Amino acid sequence: MRRGNEHVAMKITTVVDEQAFDATAAWRIIGQAVAKRDSVIGLSTGRTTGNMHRKVVEISKVSPFDTSALTIVGVDEVVNVPREYAGACYTMLKTEITDGLGISEENFLMLPTKSSDFPKACREFTDAIAARGGMDLLILGLGENGHLGFNQPGTPFDSTAWVSEMYPELEQRIRRETQTPEDIWLGGVTLGLKDMMHARRIILVAKGRNKAESVRKMVYGPLSEEHPASILRLHPDCEVLLDREAAALL
């Protein structure tokens, strides 16, 4: 796509509705797993991705494919909550997709919810991904403010896995749900933007009218750390999958 003199390398795919959105995304994941049985696939959690993960499992029951050598990587995790908490990314991915596909714990790579040394845990996490050859496919959700994972506006483009601040609305919801006292810090540990850009292929997924402005800024706005998703314009193989509402301003 080109606007004026600016080249945007992204491939933009728009589908008609939420059902088509979830099915299209699910088949992208399955296609990667079938094409390379030992693929390393990074997945994100949230309202955008849950149904597509369940769709992958649903399709696998009808048309089974080999998942014995497949590695699933979680993009981020909530800090200082129990791993069993329903809103922990580990539990969400486990419930939505990894259990249904029969992914072993050995092949399910996640950042920890609790650690006495998060910088070390981050290094070990990225080392584990690298030891498996890096991510073949990375699915990323898009925040309304342009965040990717827990990389909020202002995150340096050269960031690697780190512990970040959590945006206030999410923090307060998690604090209520987990009954976490105010004196315990809640944050998010996440792959950095540089880590994400190392994936061989990226699919950014966004649906809903509330994401339309963020999509517009990502595709046409300034290349800026104030809108982290804009970095994806520099990736050589990035597809943006949208429903009609999210694509309304393109």
Domains of the chain, CATH where assigned: 2-188+207-238 (3.40.50.1360)
Q: What angle do CA 44, 68, 121 make, to 5 degrees?
A: 45
Rounded to whole angstroms, what are the CA distances from 234 to 224, 239, 240?
12, 12, 13
Q: Strand pairing partners for 76?
A: 190
Q: Residue 127 contacts by C-beta under 8 Å, 6 or more apart in sequence?
A: none
pLDDT of res. 167: 80
| pLDDT the model gives residue 166 | 86
Reading the block at residue 55, the tokens are 């769709």
Query: pLDDT by residue for the chain (250 residues), tens digit each?
Result: 444 334 457 999 999 999 999 999 999 999 999 999 999 999 999 999 999 999 999 999 999 999 999 999 999 999 999 999 999 999 999 999 999 999 999 999 999 999 999 999 999 999 999 999 999 999 999 999 999 999 999 999 999 999 998 888 888 989 999 999 999 999 999 999 999 999 999 999 999 999 999 999 999 999 999 999 999 999 999 999 999 999 999 9
Q: What is the pLDDT of residue 8?
A: 55
Those residues with Cβ within 8 angstroms of residue 200's Cβ, 6 or more apart along the chain or in another chain:
134, 135, 136, 137, 237
pLDDT at 2: 44
pLDDT computed for residue 165 by the predictor = 87
- What lies within 8 Å, CB to CB, of 232 at 6+ separation is 10, 140, 148, 197, 202, 204, 218, 238, 240
pTM: 0.95
Query: Which residue in the block uniquely carries the two structure tokens 């991705």?
Result: 49
Phi-psi region of 71 (alpha: psi -120 to 50; beta: other; left: phi over 0): beta
